[in-house]
Amino acid sequence: MKIYVKYFASVRDIMGKDSEDLKIETSLSANELWKSLTVGKKTPIRVLVAVNHEYVDKNFKLKNGDEIAFFPPVTGG
């Protein structure tokens, strides 16, 4: 299945890119995907995750075609 991954703000700085398209064999949770993407990286303590423009919890199971985004707590306004 195909997954579209986006990174914003300090998470993008750490990942060194703003997005990537992935092909994965088995369905992963948001947390499992994050762990596999950040192996060997020093990651921030606080990361939020959204799938298809909605916040989800870390156990959310990804489906084919999902857009998943990882980013730090928001600071607008």
Chain residues in the site for other proteins (CB under 8 A): 6, 8-10, 30-31, 34, 46-50, 53-58, 69-77
C-beta of 23 vs 76, nearer to other proteins: 76
CB of 10 to other proteins, least distance (A): 5
C-beta of 13 vs 63, nearer to other proteins: 13
Beta-sheet pairing, 2-7 with 48-51? unpaired
Residue 54 vs residues 14, 15, 18, 26, 43: alpha-carbon distances, Å: 23, 22, 18, 22, 22
CB of 29 to other proteins, least distance (A): 10
Compute the distance between CA of residue 14 and CA of residue 1 in angstroms, rounded to an integer: 25
- Please identify which residue in the block is written with the tokens 């707590």: 73
C-beta of 23 vs 53, nearer to other proteins: 53
